[in-house]
Structure 1
Amino acid sequence: MLCHGQGQAEILPLPLSGPAYAIANEAYGAYNRKDYDLAIAKAREALRQRDDAGQLRKLIALAERDKDRRDHPERYPDARPKPGYLDGNRALRAYAEGDYERSAQFARKAISQAPKNADYRMMLIEALQRQQRLEEAEVATHDAVQALGPQPALSRRLQSIHEQMAVVKAAQGYEALARGDNDTAVSYARDVVQRYPQEIAYRRLLVSALIAQQQYAEARSAATEALALKGNDATLLAQRGQMRLRLGDKPGAQQDFAQALAVGNLPLREQASLYAAMGQPRQALERMQQARDAGELQPGDEVQMAYFLSQSGDDHAALAVFKRLDRQNGLKPKEVQDAAYTAMRASEDAQAIAYFDRVLDYQKAGDLKMPDQQVFDTRRAVSDLSREWGVTNTTTYRGASTSNGLSGTPSRSNDSVQNSTEVFWRPAGYRDARFVELYGRVTDTLWNKESGNDKGMDALQGAVGVRIKPFSEYNVMAAFERTFPLAGSKVDGDWLVRLGYGSSIGTDLRVDVPSWWTSQLYAEGGRYLNDKRNYFNSEWQLGRSFRLDRVSPRLVVFPHVVAAVDYDSKMRSEVDALGRTKTSSDNAGGAGVGVGVRYWFRETAHKAPQSYVDFSVQYREKVFGDDSAEGVFARLTYSW
């Protein structure tokens, strides 16, 4: 074998095989029969076919020596076999036959008879190396040095053994990495790197093992040390780039990825991954398609094409790939989860629901591990996607509804109780939160403090309209509706144009923590076209939600602070019962505190709670403008 260090390790002879083995066997047989001429002839013929077989040269030398002793005994008056000769010869023959275990046994016997014989000791070392009994070979080499003293051949052999041991340990490290035993892999990798710090292959193993162990900072440092030895190693650059990305160093990661691609010797599929990490999904897709055409894709690789298509913004094409692979071989649970979100972004609501249902089934069966809140969020996605219609009933005491930002319009009198019931329908479905709703609403003033204002049947009015939410990312909604009197009420009909915006954090139920911060902001502006009346309502709440598990895990209380601003171009000064003029303007702003209680219900195994009852009460102090900004405000909402 070739060394992995600085020098050249000793090369072990290949075992004899084929015709050379048969002729060599005949040579050894002839030698044992003391037919030395035939042994020499056969050995030379075998050596002609395998000139690297040094054991045959030894056999020729032994046969010529023994033939000379036989033919000229007068030259050897004291000739007799040397100690260990017979066992050494047996070890040599067993080695030539490939029986390395017997060769080692005979070599040990020969060494016990002739401890100073270098040939016997070298035969033992070689036989042990052939069996990969490297620790024993190392001990045998040290024993030889102790018996014979330092020798270049023994030093080279010891280096060869150590390199073999490093290769074996590295292979064991990769095997441990493959079976998920990352600690063992790191241990083997550290050992071989310490023995051979200049060998890049071992450093790659160490980096890979540290990554698998999730020691990202240490993996980055190990990759940097390796790159100091070989600056243009594409694999190490890609690995270090991944670690930099995980550790938040995006510019450094981009630099490493670009340099790794510039080296140009990475497989196409790995180039695709780097382009994707650099935010270039189109180039990533091109490389993946090239890898597919070249037959380089491994099982499961083709699903990456769906991810690259999705990253490039083509969710429809990505969903098509997911569907095809699902039909052909079936998607893995994690891939089904990704396909569900892709289908949702592509506005394929039915397909997204089907994938999410499978995800929840996988989670229940234990095939896909998900935190509790992620399971709930998945069920919430199913609820949102499957909703086609709904009903909302809101009763307010002083103030507009904030249930969806476009459900209530201001009344001329603030000190009143109003009720509004609305039914909506989404004809095209959820469409990734870019839906269109058709709605109808009935509104009435149930009570009014001022006797002169309409209430009851006199204040009953209806409305029909259409509203649109054009953006997935932003909760902006526009509406156009027609209001009209009902049951002969005194309300004037009008056309109303409305624009609303909402932003919320933590308004949905949480199942992972007992309490959480909650904020919700809504703002709405509108214009009555006939009446030439403009209005603006806004409210911001900030507080902390607490789940009342002792009562019900679906019951939440929400103490909060509140700020509200209203504007109405038709606000008028009013005179109270004592003849005093109240502070009046066309705007009002107040701030205060409040508490809300919400109970969630109507859920299934695959759907989060779809309905709730919410009651909130607030007290506000006037900050500016009209007196309507201060006092008690209450709201009761039932959402189905």
Structure 2
Amino acid sequence: MDKARIANLSHQSLLARLWVTLPAATLMAAVCLLPAPAGAQMDQEAGRQRNGTEVLDLPLSGPAYAIAREAYAAYDAKDYATAIAKVREAIRQRPDVDSLKVLLLEAIEASGQLQEAEREAQKLLAEGNRSPQIIHQMSRIKSALAQKAAESVYAALEKNDFEVAISQAQEAVRLNPDQNTFRHLLILAQLRARRFAEAETSASDALASDSEDAIAATFRAVSRLNESNGQNKQQAIADFERALAQDRIAETEKNEIRLIAADYLIAIGEFARAENVLSDFSGDRKQKDARIARIAEHKRSHSSLPSSVSRVPVPKLECRETPYDSVCFILPGLPGADAGFPAAAEAYQAASTGNYSLAIAKIREAIRLSPENEDYRTAEKNMLAAQKAGVSFGGPAAVAAGQAYDLQRRGDFAGAIRHAREAVALAPRQQQLRALLVNLLISAGREAEAIREINTTFAQLGTDAQLLQQRGYLLLQANEPARAVDDFANALPLVKSPSERRTLLLAMADAATAADQPERALDALSLLGTSGSFDVAYRRGNILRGLERYDEALAAFTQAVTSAPTAEDRARAKAAQISAYVSLGQQSVARQLFETAKQTGELNALPALDVAYLALRVGDPVAASQQFTLVQKRGELRGLALVDAAYAARQVFDNDLAVELLKSAIDTIGPTLEPQYLWGLRREVADLTRTWGAYTSVTYGAVGSGAFSPQTSSGSTTQTGTEIYWRPPVIGNRNGSTLDFFMRNFTTLHDDLGGPVGFRTMQGSFGVRWKPLQNYNVIVEAARLFRIGSDSREDTMVRAAYFDGRGGDLRMDVPSWWLWQVSGEVGHYFDIDQTFATLDAKLGRSFRLDSISDRLMITPFVGVTANFDNLLDTKWAAGAGPGINARYWFREDKYNAPRSYVDLNVQYRFKLLEDDRAQGLFASLTLAY
């Protein structure tokens, strides 16, 4: 069997291993091993918390925490025995932490004990551990075991050990029943063993799994004809027609099926049908002509020879692994089931012992008996070359290569690589030996050496399509996508198989996308046509979205939805389609599609985190928060997703959850964040947790206190004022909309016009203040003034205020920054019928005084102020001038940005409009707590 062309049927080939990701255990360590926040440590004996019917893992702490850390460290060091022992002890102490059980499964699997890993996973599932991580790990283990079983099938078929081949293929199907390539392998083994009834049943099972499986339909036709010795014609013919009717296989693959069908139709005397099948054949003319000649010969001799079915070679499979999937197709004639096989077997045996004269004689006998078997003709050429050069079939290079293959099967890649290098040194012109060495280097994780070996091969022997593709995949893995695109493009003209060409074009599009070459990626996809392929449409949509060609992206994603082969693919395409509507500004359409997809379950196959972000994008914070919470309960919420989940919780008014998530983000990723971003998270925690506050101030100036105390003098005054406010839980802060209840008092300390001062002027008030809008600083307020001093009074006041600005808070990323602020208010006192209004604008540059304290900022500024009071003779006044502000922030902790400050503000204003009260010195000293 040609080992270079017949590959293992699995998803973990040499190429596919280039894309193996880090173990889930390593990624989960951040969640499992982080201690609880300060002040919120969980009791080590507390077990698990319950929230409804959900059970949440508590953070690890104490001895279990220490042991788990040792387990992860041993795993990362590839000391799997220690990791297994440590994690078993950690599980004994904390059996509620699913991530530890996942680590146990990964460590057992990494140690090579796949069957033990399966038994352990089965045990966990039997005990009721149904977490998605454990179920996913079980699936991975079964896939690996299925791959191992498939490799054993090929080894057994090479030795004609059909019983072992069949049992191993059945095991692969049991472990991975969704992978039809394993079913194909089982059918092949059963046909080779001439167990045709079983092969027919297996083919029917494959068609039940995938009704469009052309390979299974062809195999079933062959099984039926062999089982009935050519009598079960109609069902077999229907299966051949079914295989050839499939649109998803390439024309080249259909040509191979036509040859197989023609061989069997000729054997059962269905010459007209055979001619009809061959009329559509568009491949090698010689193959078609040979069969037409056989039909003519049978017609001349009036012979149908129904019993000759047994002499038709059983079809063979040719498969090649890619990072995307197994690419397999069926071909006529497999050595071992045709008339020439006994002679061929003797030929191979003779060649392996160096008896080339006998080997060549026997292989020529095999060719005479099976003239259509191209493998025998190839073997003849190789044996003639071996006779001349002494390298194939038992030469030292072949011996070294054989040792490399043996060591590879045992997992000894270092030894296999040594023998492969020896084989290359012995036969440096043998391309296959170079390919063997490259594949071994890749399997051993020595990608850089593999690239160097490919470069050397190209320099010495010229380029090769398969090695070009391998180097492209290696470069893509090494984050050199631009070079990978060039390799894929250079390999394209050398690839003839439509299936392989399709895979190559998809890889080229992916590499071009990664290299930020979108037009080149679109060009690669255009060569695949617009036949409705999901792989093409989905990639095209993503590229067009990146180019902001949203109309075209929407069309591509819509096509991807209709052509998606699996529920997961459909869910991904549906999410992309919904996002495209958002990008086009059609938010209501996107929201409706999202709601419909949720109700129909179209998005169920997406990870909950993806659904959460999609919900945020369409403006459904309730759904987003639900999905984030689901991810959190699974222990999978980490990184910046914690922050996004916190803001989603805030949008649905769950401030406690938002604070919990923000604190977790500060704990886990705080040190990695930009300083100002981290400051913003801490500021958010401070705002969400505030339930009360107080202000006290002393002000001096001519305009008076306006909104908070009715104007008592037209001259300059010094006043002191205090406010205490309460922000009730739940209703007090609803996603940036706040509600405060307050009490105030103001007292005039000095009046340069001789007005009343002291306790007699103390004015009290209480009221409510509401900020109704999330994103705009609009405030409405109602207050009742009550008498304290003899010169105070009773009244009712309402006001509305607006504020906007940037730069008022501390900056941690730069030492200085611009500040601008604009504010205005209008209000009315009912009993004295006073209407007032103020407008204030300020522009300045703030500096952080790090030499004194990095919490102290000083801001020189220029400000403009206007004031209106209907009770004054001159109702309007306006002034402008320079000023300086100093503010010191304090009262902070790990999670809260400073919640209090002392503020000193001094400004001199020049009169701009009418009244002298707009000019002069203005100053204030404020403590905000």
Give the counterpart of 2:387 among 58, 77, 87.
Answer: 87
Decide whether aligned partners of structure 1 residues 271 and 567 sit closer, same or farther in structure 2, where only a CA change above 3 A counts. Answer: same
Q: Which residue does 1:559 correspond to in 2?
A: 860
Is 1:273 the equivalent of 2:562? no
Q: Which residue does 1:586 correspond to in 2?
A: 875
Q: Which residue does 1:510 correspond to in 2?
A: 811
State the SS of the aligned residue for 2:798: strand
Q: Which residue does 1:458 correspond to in 2?
A: 760
**As a proportion of its length, which structure holds more helix?**
2
Matches of 2:359 and 2:893, distance apart in 1? 95
Matches of 1:554 and 1:170, distance apart in 2? 53
Match of 2:668, as an amino acid?
Y
Decide whether aligned partners of structure 1 residues 332 and 23 sit closer, same or farther in structure 2, where only a CA change above 3 A counts. Answer: farther
Is 1:53 the equivalent of 2:386? no
Give the counterpart of 1:526 among 807, 821, 827.
Answer: 827
**For 1:224-303, what aligned pairs fall within 5 Å after superposition?**
224-226=522-524, 232=530, 233-244=536-547, 250=548, 252=549, 254-264=550-560, 265=563, 267-268=569-570, 269-279=572-582, 281-282=590-591, 285=594, 296-297=605-606, 301-303=607-609
Matches of 1:558 and 1:139, distance apart in 2? 67
Decide whether aligned partners of structure 1 residues 494 and 510 sit closer, same or farther in structure 2, where only a CA change above 3 A counts. Answer: same
Matches of 2:633 and 2:599, distance apart in 1? 23
Q: Compute the displacement of 1:625 (Å).
A: 2.2
State the SS of the aligned residue for 2:734: coil
Match of 2:468, as an amino acid?
A
Q: Which residue does 1:371 correspond to in 2?
A: 674
Computing the radius of gyration over CA atoms, which structure comes out larger, 1 or 2? 1
Q: Which residue does 2:920 correspond to in 1?
A: 631
Is 1:549 the equivalent of 2:844? no
Matches of 2:688 and 2:885, distance apart in 1? 27
Matches of 2:596 and 2:365, distance apart in 1? 58
Alpha carbons 1:545, 1:557 under 8 Å: kept: yes
State the SS of the aligned residue for 1:509: coil
Q: Which residue does 2:71 correspond to in 1?
A: none
Alpha carbons 1:420, 1:443 under 8 Å: kept: yes
Is 1:167 the equivalent of 2:469? yes
State the SS of the aligned residue for 1:608: coil
Decide whether aligned partners of structure 1 residues 407 and 195 sit closer, same or farther in structure 2, where only a CA change above 3 A counts. Answer: farther
Match of 2:746, as an amino acid?
T
Is 1:315 the equivalent of 2:618? no
Q: Which residue does 1:337 correspond to in 2?
A: 643
Alpha carbons 2:558, 2:577 under 8 Å: kept: no
Decide whether aligned partners of structure 1 residues 49 and 294 sit closer, same or farther in structure 2, where only a CA change above 3 A counts. Answer: farther
Q: Which moved more, 1:33-42 or 1:129-138?
A: 33-42
Q: Compute the displacement of 1:491 (Å).
A: 1.8
Matches of 1:34 and 1:607, distance apart in 2? 84
**For 1:605-616, what aligned pairs fall within 5 Å after superposition?**
605-616=894-905
State the SS of the aligned residue for 2:868: strand
Q: Compute the displacement of 1:182 (Å).
A: 1.1
Q: Which residue does 1:182 correspond to in 2?
A: 479
Decide whether aligned partners of structure 1 residues 41 and 282 sit closer, same or farther in structure 2, where only a CA change above 3 A counts. Answer: same
Is 1:358 the equivalent of 2:664? yes
Decide whether aligned partners of structure 1 residues 308 and 34 sit closer, same or farther in structure 2, where only a CA change above 3 A counts. Answer: closer
Q: Compute the displacement of 1:192 (Å).
A: 2.8
Match of 1:459, as an amino acid?
T
Decide whether aligned partners of structure 1 residues 46 and 448 sit closer, same or farther in structure 2, where only a CA change above 3 A counts. Answer: farther
**Can you list the C-alpha shifts for 1:264-300, whole angstroms capped at 9, x where unaligned?**
3463204413431441543674697599769854xxx
Is 1:433 the equivalent of 2:736? yes
Alpha carbons 1:100, 1:127 under 8 Å: kept: no
Decide whether aligned partners of structure 1 residues 456 and 135 sit closer, same or farther in structure 2, where only a CA change above 3 A counts. Answer: closer
Q: Which moved more, 1:204-213 or 1:521-530?
A: 204-213
Decide whether aligned partners of structure 1 residues 468 and 406 sit closer, same or farther in structure 2, where only a CA change above 3 A counts. Answer: farther
State the SS of the aligned residue for 2:850: coil
Alpha carbons 1:337, 1:355 under 8 Å: kept: yes
Decide whether aligned partners of structure 1 residues 27 and 554 sit closer, same or farther in structure 2, where only a CA change above 3 A counts. Answer: closer
Matches of 1:467 and 1:374, distance apart in 2? 30
Matches of 1:503 and 1:85, distance apart in 2? 86
State the SS of the aligned residue for 1:607: coil
Q: Compute the displacement of 1:345 (Å).
A: 1.9
Matches of 2:600 and 2:459, distance apart in 1? 49
State the SS of the aligned residue for 1:189: helix
Matches of 1:89 and 1:290, distance apart in 2? 70
Is 1:467 the equivalent of 2:769? yes
Matches of 2:922 and 2:624, distance apart in 1? 50
Q: Which residue does 1:72 correspond to in 2?
A: none
Q: Which residue does 1:111 correspond to in 2?
A: none
Matches of 1:389 and 1:415, distance apart in 2? 32
Listed as ranges, the gaps of 5+ residues in structure 1 are: 63-83, 104-121, 143-160, 245-249, 573-584
Decide whether aligned partners of structure 1 residues 182 and 625 sit closer, same or farther in structure 2, where only a CA change above 3 A counts. Answer: same
Q: Compute the displacement of 1:537 (Å).
A: 1.5
State the SS of the aligned residue for 2:374: coil
Matches of 1:333 and 1:44, distance apart in 2? 65
Q: Which residue does 1:575 correspond to in 2?
A: none
TM-score normalised by the chain length of structure 1: 0.73
Decide whether aligned partners of structure 1 residues 40 and 633 sit closer, same or farther in structure 2, where only a CA change above 3 A counts. Answer: closer
Decide whether aligned partners of structure 1 residues 100 and 186 sit closer, same or farther in structure 2, where only a CA change above 3 A counts. Answer: farther
Match of 1:638, as an amino acid?
L
Alpha carbons 2:639, 2:665 under 8 Å: kept: yes
Identity %: 27
Match of 2:832, as an amino acid?
D
Give the counterpart of 1:443 among 746, 765, 777.
Answer: 746
**Can you list the C-alpha shifts for 1:36-74, whole angstroms capped at 9, x where unaligned?**
899759954996599333248849xx9xxxxxxxxxxxx
Give the counterpart of 1:220 among 512, 518, 529.
Answer: 518
Listed as ranges, the gaps of 5+ residues in structure 2 are: 6-249, 253-281, 288-317, 320-330, 404-426, 439-453, 495-500, 531-535
Q: Compute the displacement of 1:168 (Å).
A: 2.3
**Can you list the C-alpha shifts for 1:458-479, whole angstroms capped at 9, x where unaligned?**
2111000011110011100111
Matches of 2:674 and 2:910, distance apart in 1? 43
Match of 2:591, as an amino acid?
R
Decide whether aligned partners of structure 1 residues 385 and 292 sit closer, same or farther in structure 2, where only a CA change above 3 A counts. Answer: same
Matches of 2:767 and 2:740, distance apart in 1? 8
Give the counterpart of 1:349 among 617, 630, 655.
Answer: 655
Alpha carbons 1:469, 1:476 under 8 Å: kept: yes
Alpha carbons 2:469, 2:487 under 8 Å: kept: no
**As a proportion of its length, which structure holds more strand?**
1
Decide whether aligned partners of structure 1 residues 495 and 28 sit closer, same or farther in structure 2, where only a CA change above 3 A counts. Answer: closer
Q: Which residue does 1:24 correspond to in 2?
A: 344
Q: Compute the displacement of 1:406 (Å).
A: 6.2
Matches of 1:600 and 1:613, distance apart in 2? 7
Matches of 1:241 and 1:379, distance apart in 2? 38
Q: Which residue does 2:33 correspond to in 1?
A: none
**For 1:492-507, what aligned pairs fall within 5 Å after superposition?**
492-507=793-808
Alpha carbons 2:707, 2:827 under 8 Å: kept: no
Q: Compute the displacement of 1:416 (Å).
A: 0.4
Q: Which moved more, 1:266-275 or 1:11-20?
A: 11-20
Matches of 1:381 and 1:37, distance apart in 2? 82
State the SS of the aligned residue for 2:464: helix
Between Structure 1 and Structure 2, how many residues are aligned? 540
Structure 1 vs Structure 2 CA RMSD: 4.4
TM-score normalised by the chain length of structure 2: 0.52
